[in-house]
Every structure is written in structure tokens, then in C-alpha cells.
Structure 1
């Protein structure tokens, strides 16, 4: 088995629109309700507390999602988004272009809007994010330069949500990916990560999509050993009364680290 998920195999299993429809209508009662409230709350907090500042931000494995950038776009002027497969890119591009068939992010945008204590047209928030996205690039975390053949100036911040667990087939490759990502960051630059704990899979339609099961001990050690210092690692355990079974996850994590 390869150390990293093959793009063509991933495309066969992962339908990006079905993924969005399954997990990204906040309030639908899916496991993602817990994940989104936890993750969006932590992104909001880390930025509003002033711990993470800068001009340039790269999001690793963006497509087809935008939720992880809704707080960041208030603090970073230059955002680069990345994708791994063409199907994901096509779904993201619909939103960027305001196509009629684009996914409806309004429930999540409204939640972030409320976290920020604002009111008004939700479209304002989405338009601000569109304006801040300056580039859309191919990304492959198995490469020493994940954005190859493009080389960008070192960024102030990297974001990666529910990405490395899907991309990396074992723990050694996870560490390799973290080291590869560090080449995109300035010394002292910020790494923000969020994802599932203990998940071996999540369902997209009838397919069970692979996930590398990670825990807090592994994450703390792997991030520290890959050229970063962990400033914050928080987790949220699966509620005992959770009635959804689309993943065997045990909880969620959020990490703030800085490159040494």
C-alpha cells in the first residue's frame, strides 16, 4: 500500500457535492454539527485573541470546503486555497464564480456571523472571502514542496482541516506531510489544524472513505517532532447520546502550533 492516498482512487470514493450535502448543513443533526461548532468556535477564538496575525495564509486541502476560512478572511489579506483532485476543484470553483448550482453555505456563514457579533447580509461575508482568495493551486502533501511546481513566498499561516488524516495512510507519512508543509511557512509562522480523533472512516454515500485514526498523544508528538512547537491542543469527545453512525470517530481536535 502507498504511504499516501492516490488521487484517482480518492476521486472514485469521494463525491465532493455529496460530502457537502451530507455534512455541511449546520443544524441537520449530523456528526458535523458538533465538529463545525467546535472547529468554527476555535478558529474564531484564535483569531480574535490576536494570537495569529499576518498577511499571507495558505489553506491545505481546501476544496470543496470554505468553512475553515470564514474567520481567517477577516485577518489575512492574501489567501491561497489548494485542492488535490479535479472534482473538488470544480465544486469549489462553482462557489468562487457564484454559479447558480453552487453549494449553499448560508447556515455556516450565519453561525460565524453570529460568533463575530455581526448582522447583515450573509453574502457580504462570502464576498469578503472571495476577494481575499488570490490563488487556487494544486496541492500534494507527499511532495517536499506541496505546491510543486509553484513556489510561493513563505506564508504567515497555514490551515489544514480534515486533510492529513485522509491523505496519509500511516503515521510515518503523516509526519512526512507535516515536515513538507513546514517548507511553506516562515520561521515563527502559524499552523492551525483541525480534524477527527480515532476515525478509521467516514461515509460519503455508500462509500467508506479512509481516515487515519489519530489521538492527542500522537498529534502532540508528531507536530513537535516535525519542526513546530505546539501552543495549544484542545479536543472534544463524541457525545454519549450521539445517534449518528456515518463515522467511527471518537472526537475532534484543534491545534495551534508555530514553526521553530
Structure 2
């Protein structure tokens, strides 16, 4: 089985205060509030109110706001204090921002947008792989297909998810496009979310495994058109399963 990825979907922050410190707790809570619209665009964030609400000191709040500023969610403004920025200025590929949006009332939109991104990036990655793939890269993708199958047959959805992430990361790696590789982290958060939100069936269908193998076989045959087509079909099938099983917002 693959080593657990370091990229996680932070769906449950139970124990976060004790485990990661009050600073991260405040970052997480404010991020959730902004993503949910509880702190709407152009809202002023008042440090004293945050201190009182969460029982933390001003330095803790100040450091938390700096983290959110780095993620493009807030900005300090002269005389008016720190205000929430419009969503188009957020770092929407940041794994925390992705998680906060998925945890909020706009979950379906976030997951759909990430699926659109996967279609745009991964189908072209599959095409590139079919042109330039090496024997070692093919072996890597076959390895993760086998790991997915083993986990699926054992009914272990966590190991299945880790192997699925490793497969898609290997696909991006094999494309030879270093920019594509940067999308591995947001895609991993997305795939973790599918598991944490219980959108995967208790038993993974064989068609899911076959779709991944089909992409690899098309790449091995250097059939770029088929690799692209099968990759699109695989991701769209994943979208349909997600929307069918997604808890209502």
C-alpha cells in the first residue's frame, strides 16, 4: 500500500486547538467563516471581537490574519483595518482554502470547479504521456493501478484513496509538464474529500478500476487520442458518482 500522503482534507478540526496550537485553530475558524460567507466580502475583521470569541490573545489573532492575508483572503487597509477580499483574489488552489470551501455551503460548486480543472489538466497530461512516456513511468502507473485494485477488493477505502492519488500524481509526473505537477496537491485534497464526504461506495466498482487501467493501456500503446478520450470519460464518471452521492449542501 502507498505511504499516506501529506496532503489532507481538513474536514474535521476536532482537537485542532490542542494538536496544532491556538494560532492554527483561529486560522481554521476564520477561514471557514470567510469561505461560508459568514464574514462576507469587504467585512471588517475586528481583532478584539475575535479575541473575545475564541478566547485568544491579540498576537494570536494578528498571526492568524497574516496567514489568511498570504492566502489572499484578507487585506489590511489603512484606517479601516483588515477586510475580507473578493473570492477572485483568494488563492483558490491552496489546500486550506479548498478544504474550507468544501466544508461550507458552496461545497457542490467547489467540487464541480475542481472537477472541471481536472478535466482541463489531466486529459492533456494523458495525451502528453502517450507521446513521451518511459517504461519506468508506465511501471509506476501500473503499480498504483494494482494498489487501487488490492485496496478495493479488501474494502479499504482509505488505502484506495491513497493509491488513487498516487496514480493521478504519477500521470501528471509522466506528462513532463512541471506546471501540471503543481496541480497534484489540489487534486489530492479533492480525492481525500470524496472519501471523507462518503461519496465513494462501500465497494469500489470494477468499472472504476478498469477505467484507470484503460488509460494506462492507451498510454502504453502511444495512442494519444484514445488516452485523452478515456481519461475524460474516467473523470466525468467520477463527477457523476460524486454528484450522485454528495450530501446535500
TM range (shorter): under 0.3
Query: Greater share of helix residues, 1 or 2?
Result: 2
Query: Greater share of strand residues, 1 or 2?
Result: 1
After TM superposition, the score normalised by the length of structure 1 is 0.26
Structure of larger gyration radius: 2
